[in-house]
Structure formats: structure tokens, C-alpha cells
Structure 1
């Protein structure tokens, strides 16, 4: 691979990938899918307030969507490496688009129908994730991928920031069923907008049984020691750090400060820090980028630490802003390195492992944090989670290739 010399230090001035029509369409598609994904829980929450769905029904519907997502992520990776990535995005987006009106039809009439439809939506959401990741590597030149990934993650953070407000605003003029139909339109856009890369596609190897191809993906992941170490650190941070703050931040907001405003302010600060981080890392390419990325991941320890004692709302907001910035300092180089180092015909399968572990263990952490806090005390749990959020990335930094997220070739 030939790279352009860096003549301006770690910051490069390049033509934005968003000015390239193929990537711009892909960016719009991922943004649409993200908006549909994040809007659905808020819309169903509004349905609970309107009385057309019970809280138990809401939990069941969201649980089946998560189950569908987790089942479809590895399957989507297999299909995206076996067939066209563009086709996998198309069919997964269409599945979610078709199932969403069924979900709307079941609202107020059949929770079972809603649960089945939500599972199909989750399947579409899960199958498209590794396909989008692999398709990005197909449509963007290697030197532009970091900036492209920064643009993609910027849209994700923007969606998490805007989706609740947009949903609440639209809810003033229409009902939950209509809002769900709007998300069906977003899934349709996600399915139809992307285009395949202009370069010749990578040659597909002879097809093997699905379990054999899955093992091939595991073997490829094992070849990159830095990837396994980083994935382990990421899993620990999400399963413990993210879960502990998700469960205990509302409690700390009420117990320490007596208001839910701290909860809202912390989440807003996190998103703002992540947006700044995405902008920063779109241009910044330091030496030892892997170590910098793992350092950014380790900054998540500040979130649980800020909740241990009532240090003041401003310090909580500052900690969450730094945490958001650090997460993007990790995410963008992480995705870019996988697209660079992993064999192109196995990229979707390896990416599916990333999403599967990162999201798959989060429900386990969410389920265990509350009982642990009751048994050992919230402060002890937060301190333990903060320590592990530092320790896991520090150990990952010792892995071969972790310094630059590069695999040493024989």
C-alpha cells in the first residue's frame, strides 16, 4: 500500500470524503439507520405514556430487538464476506423497513406481534452493522479512511444528541404509530442509498459451510494480537464502566444533587465531548496512535470516579465531556486500523466480532451492577469499575502491535 507523505506533521489537509458522492450516500445511509435505531426506544416510551403500551410490553419489545441484533451481527458478517456488502445492506435495511409498520400495527393491539416485528428490526439493524463497516473500506481510499470513520462516528453522536429532541418535537403533532412509520422510511433510505465501490471487488474464495467461515473469521482475528487485546479492553470498559454509570448515574443524580438535571447534563456533556473528539481525530494522526487510542479508552474511568462523591455538578459534566472525547479518540483509529490490517475478504466477519462482544456483554453488566451495588455499596462498585477501566486498556497496550494498531508481518 502506498501512502502520501505527511508534510504537515500529524495533521493533514485532505479533500473530505464527504465530497465524494459514493461515500456521501453511505454516510447518509448510516445516519438514517442510526436515527431510526435511536428513535425507536423513545417512540415506544411515548406509547407507554399514551397508554397504548405497558411498561412490561416495552421491556419485552426492546429485549426481542436486542436479541435479534445479537443473533444477526455474526450472521451479517458471514453474509457480507460471502456476498456483496451492498446487497447485505440492502436486504437488512429492507427487512427493518418492512417489519417497522408491522410493529406500528401491533401497537395497542398485540404485544406478541410487536415483539416478533421488533426482533426482525433488530436482525436488520445487526446485519447491516458489519456490512457498513466493510463497505466503508470498499468505497474510501486507504488514506481517507480515518477521516471517513470520523465523519461516520460524528453522525452517530449527532443522532444520539438529536433523536430524543426530534422525537419529542414530532410527538407534539402526531402519535407513536406515525412516528414508527417515519422510522420505516429512514430504514428504507438506509437500504437504498448506498452504492458499491468503484474499484474491482475483492475476489471471493470458494464457499464453505457457515460454521467453517465463522471459524475463519475467528482465525483472522487471532492473527492480530492487538485486535484481540483491544477488543478485550473495550468489552471490559463497556460491560463494567458503561453499565455502572448507566445504572448508578440516575441514582447519584438524585442522591447527591437532588435533581435529574445532572443526569441530563452529564449525558449532554458526553455527547458534546464525543462530537469534539470526532472532529479532532479526523485530522490528528499522532505517532503511537494505538497507545493514544487506548489512553482515550482508559479515560472512561473518569465517569464512575465522578459519581463516587458529591464533587459538584460541574465536575461531573467535565468528566463526562472528557470521557466522550476519549471514546472517539479510540473509536476512529480502531475502525480504521481494522479496515487496514484485516484481510479484505474477512473484514465483515472480524467487524461482527467487534460489535458482538462490545454490545453482547453490555446487558450482562447492566443486569449485575444493581445487585453488586446493593451487596457491596455503590461507591465500592464505582471504584472497582473505574480501576478496571484503567487496567484493561493498560494491559492491552502491552500486546504486540498495540503501539500503532499494526500487525507484524513475517
Structure 2
């Protein structure tokens, strides 16, 4: 089935040669970079805030759950809002809400009043902020750059944020070691404030509102289900994300500790994966495939590589190569997918379609961890890794059998009725 809808949103009448020549895009890019810098330091600071408050693994689990649950629960509400109000104002408000949560948490930690309940409450507010901003963020680029520039713009957005993922945790660790977690949390709050001011300056108009919020949600579900390529990709992605994160994030460190040099090897694997992400963004700056979804689905299968390498006990150099290739594949899949999504879905539906897509993948994370944790007691870690890798390959292979995946092609002009 081909995508249908109205125009994909206002774009500059004469498109510059590069998205970087568009002032509004540069502002959005800077906002994303500033926010990502603080967010990269926050997990480490949060963990040590919980430890400093006397909590252990159980308390940290409660805090992480308090942050994750509201993101899933309120994501659909965020999608409806993204199609009803100004996305720049919504992003600004969400970043200010996150800044308030992190600022209060930093103050609690600095004054010695932090405990598990209060930290979890701040995490809950942060999760709500993510739910409100994530769908809106997907609908910004279509209003800033021309359709033919979307892939390059998406790749340019991922380059600095991927770099921050490498540098941010190191900087956060140094800041926590020198000044304590309150300083890192406070800096994270300031980055959210700076990002909010930058995003407010975009001054994006509000989409046309036709009915009530519930009617919009029902119409969004109808639109989501009518696009076979969208819901099948979401379903396959949900399974794939669960298998990869469970195998890589949960079992990876365990296998590295038992069969390799422990934390040293796993740190190198993480570094190789991050390097691959950077390389993948660079690939997408040059390579512009016509069948965007076919590339996105096929590239996703590369996530099985490090799981197979760990299960087979390959030598460290081969393990690092597999991790780097997986990073390249993940970023190529991410850029081509979001470009196809932005080109094929009309502007006034982007928020809701993004919310439906993200709900499945976010639910997959805790489900995947739970299933693997249960089965790891009955089977060896390497056996579970093989199963996770097989699931990734099977999910991508089945998705490639969907005819509509092959029908979605790159657009060089605006999406028009019946295209």
C-alpha cells in the first residue's frame, strides 16, 4: 500500500544545498546536541545518587522503572499533542519540565534530602517529559528542510549525538568523581533549559485541529493500521529491540566477565559499537538508497553480529569488529527508517504515528529483559544469545517478505494526495 495524505508540511521555497545552511536547522541541531550532552552524563550521576542515598540494585531498579513507565503510559498523549499544538512550544515545555525534575533532584542530592522515593518521583516527572517531547521531535525536520534533504539532515543530527554518547559518560564520570552526582545532575538541568530556549526560537506553527483529542487518537490508530509498512515495521522492531537489548545489554557483560577480560573487554566492545554508530552516520551523508525501508530492515539484521560473536566465543579482535559493524548497521537503519517515515507520513499525522511506533519498542525493553532473565536460569548464556540472534534474523527476514516494505521509495518532493 502506498502512503497517502496531504502535504508533508511547509518547506523552504528554494532549498539550500545543505541543511546546515538553514538557520532553523542549525538551531535545532544545537538544541539536540546540548540536551544530549547533559543526558549522556545523567545515568551515571543518577546511579551514584541512589547509592549515596543508601540504596542498592533494588532501589536503582525502582528508580529506573519510575522513569520508564510514564514514558510508555503518556507517549500516546504526547503524540496527539504533537499534532494539535506548536511542536516548538511543546518541545520547549517538555525540556523545561525535564529541567525542573533534574534541578529538584540535584538540590535534594546536594542537601542530603534524597531518598529512593524522592529520586523516583523526579524520575517519574522526567519520564513524562520524554513522553511529551519524543513524538514532537519526529515532526520538526519536515518543517525545516526540503524533502530531498531529510536523510542528510537526519544523519547530521545523529553525528554529534553519537559522539556525545562516547564522550558524555566519561565526562560525567569525572564530574561525579570530583564534585559528586549533584553537580552532574545540575548541569543536566541547565542543558535542558538551554535546549528549551533554542527550541522556542524555532517558532513552528500549530497544525490545524479538526476535532477532539480522543477523535484524533482514534483517527491516528486508523492511519497507523492502514499503513501496512508502518505497523509491520513496528511489530518487527519491537521483537528485534527486545532480543538485541536483552542479549547485548543484559547478557553481554555477563559473558564478557566469564569468558573474556571482564569490564576491560566490555568497555572496548561498547567503544567499538559507538564508533560504528559514528561511521554509520557518515555513510548516510553520502549514500542515498532509493528503497529506504528495504535498507532499514536489512541493516537491522546486523545487530545479530555481536550476539553471534559472543555466543561463539570469537577472539576479541573479531568481537570488536562485529560490534563496530552492528553500530554501523544500527545507524544506517535508524537514518533510513526515520527518513522514510518523515517522507511518507503527512505532517499533521507525524506525532501520532511516531507515538504508536515508539510505544511498541519501549515496551519491548522491560519485556525482553524479563524473558531473558527467566530463561537464563534454564539455559546457558551462550544458548540464549544464539536464540536472541536467531530472533533478530527471523524478524528482519519476515519483515522483508512484506510487499509494502519494497513499495516505499525515496521522495524528492513533497508528499501529495495519492502518492
TM over 0.5: yes
Partner of 2:37: 35
- The 5-angstrom pairing of residues 258-277 of structure 1 reads 258-277=261-280
- 2:231 aligned partner: 228
Q: Cα deviations across residues 259-298 of structure 1 (Å, max 9, x unaligned)?
A: 3211111111111011100111122112433222211101
**How many Å separate the matches in 1 of 2:73 and 2:34?**
22
1:51-70 per-residue CA deviation (whole Å, 9 max, x = no partner) reads 66544333222221112222
Which whole-Å deviations, capped at 9, do the CAs of 1:161-200 have from their partners, x for residues lacking one? Answer: 111111012234322112211110111122110257688x
Task: Give the Å deviation of 1:403.
Answer: 2.0
Post-superposition CA distance 1:29-67 (Å, at most 9, x none)? 122232333322110223356566544333222221112
* Structure 1, unaligned runs of 5 or more: 3-13
Is residue 131 of structure 2 the alignment partner of residue 126 of structure 1?
A: yes
The Cα shift of 1:16 comes to: 2.8
> Could you tell me which residue of structure 1 aligns to residue 358 of structure 2?
355
The answer (yes or no) to whether the contact 1:277–1:328 under 8 Å persists in 2 is yes
In the alignment, the residues of structure 2 paired with residue 74 and residue 38 of structure 1 have an alpha-carbon distance, to the nearest angstrom, of 25
Pair 161,204 (structure 1): closer, same or farther in 2 beyond 3 Å: same
1:213 to 181, 198, 216: 216
Paired with 2:360 and 2:38, the residues of 1 have a C-alpha distance of: 23
- 1:233 to partner: Cα distance: 1.8
Segment of structure 1 superposing worse, 319-328 or 62-71: 62-71
Matched, 1:117 2:119: no
> Does the aligned pair in 2 maintain the 1:249–1:307 contact within 8 Å?
yes
Superposition RMSD in Å? 2.3
Contact 1:277 1:324 in 2 (8 A): yes
Following superposition, the deviation at residue 367 of structure 1 comes to: 1.6
Structure-2 separation of matches of 1:353 and 1:117: 25
1:7 matched to which residue of 2?
none
What is the TM-score normalised by the length of structure 1? 0.90
Match of 1:300 in 2: 303
How many Å separate the matches in 1 of 2:360 and 2:35?
21
CA–CA separation in structure 1 for the residues paired with 2:211 and 2:362: 29
Superposed CA deviations along residues 196-244 of structure 1, whole A, max 9, x for unmatched, are: 7688x57513231x33222221211222211112112211111112211
Task: Please state how far the C-alpha of 1:397 moved relative to its aligned partner.
Answer: 1.5
Aligned residue in 1 for 2:47: 45
**Closer, same or farther: CA 398–50 of 1 in aligned 2, 3 Å:** same
Query: What pairs with 1:241-390 in structure 2 (closer than 5 Å)?
Result: 241-390=244-393
Change (3 A) 1:156 1:264: same
What is the rounded CA distance, in whole Å, between the counterparts of 1:130 and 1:83 in structure 2?
Answer: 12
SS in 2 for 1:204: coil
SS in 2 for 1:82: coil
Answering whether residue 198 of structure 2 is matched by residue 193 of structure 1, we say: yes
Residue 135 of structure 1 pairs with residue 140 of structure 2: yes
The CA distance in 2 between the partners of 1:111 and 1:172, in whole Å, is 21
Distance 1:234 1:383, change over 3 A: same
**How much has 1:383 moved relative to structure 2?**
1.4
Question: Normalising by the residue count of structure 2, what TM-score does the alignment of the two structures yield?
Answer: 0.89
Map of 1:184 onto structure 2: 189
Query: Distance between the aligned counterparts of 2:268 and 2:367, measured in 1?
Result: 26
Pairing 1:58-137 to 2, within 5 Å after superposition: 58-107=60-109, 108-109=112-113, 110-137=115-142
Match of 1:165 among 151, 165, 170: 170
Q: For 2:210, what is the secondary structure of its paired residue?
A: coil
Query: Which shifted more, 222-231 or 296-305?
Result: 222-231
The match for 1:394 is: 397
How much does 1:257 deviate?
1.4
2:153 is matched with 148
Q: 1:393 to 1:409 in 2, by over 3 A?
A: farther
Paired residue secondary structure (1:43): helix
Asked if the contact 2:87/2:206 (under 8 Å) is kept, the reply is: no
Gaps of at least 5 residues in structure 2 are 1-6, 9-15, 410-414
- Structure-2 change in CA distance of 1:374 and 1:55 (3 Å): closer
Alpha-carbon contact 1:243-1:365 (below 8 Å) kept: yes
The 1:51/1:120 distance shift into structure 2, 3 A limit, reads: closer
Q: Give the structure, 1 or 2, with the largest relative contact order (CA under 8 Å, sep 6 or more).
A: 2
* Cα shift at 1:249: 0.7
Other structure's SS at 2:175 match: helix
